[in-house]
Amino acid sequence: MAGQERRYPPISPISVGLACRCPRCGDGRLYSGFLTVAPKCEVCGLDYDFADAGDGPAVFVTLIAGFLVLGAALAIDMAYEPPLWVYAVFFLPLTIFVCLGMLRPLKSVLIALQYSNKAAPGRLDT
C-alpha cells in the first residue's frame, strides 16, 4: 500500500489512557519515563508532539485525592479519634501513594482525549 496511510479503528480514549498506551493504535507505550511522554509510538509511529496535558492532570489528582484521603481522615477521626501522629504516619504516605498512582493514568487519559478530539491550540483569525 505505497502512498496510502493506514487507517486505525477508533479506540476509547479512556481505555487507552488508563492503560498508558498510544491513543491511535492502542499498542505502543505512551511514556518513556514516569511522566515523560515518548517522542513517538514505537508501533504505529504517531508523533506525540501534540501531547500537552498542561496542569490538568495535577488539578484532577489534587481534587480527587484530596476528596478521598480527607474523607478517610475525617471518617477515622469521627469514629476513633486517634492521636495526631497516626495521621502523619498513615495519611501522609497514603496521600503520596494515591497522588502518584493517579497522576500517570490521568495524564494519559487527557492526552488520549486530545488526540481523539483533534484538540489544537487556539488561534485568532487575522
Contact by Cβ (8 Å): 30, 48: yes
**pLDDT-based confidence at 2, cuts 50/70/90?**
low
Count CA within 13 A, CB hemisphere, residue 32.
8
**pLDDT-based confidence at 122, cuts 50/70/90?**
confident
With a pLDDT cut of 90, the percent of the chain lying above it is 81
pLDDT in tens, 31-79: 999 999 999 999 999 999 999 888 999 999 999 999 999 999 999 999 9
Identify each DSSP E strand in 6-125 by its residue range. none
Torsion of CA 41, 43, 46, 52, to 10 degrees: -30
Global pTM? 0.86
Supply the DSSP symbol for 25: T
Q: Phi/psi at 32 (nearest 5 deg)? A: -105, -10
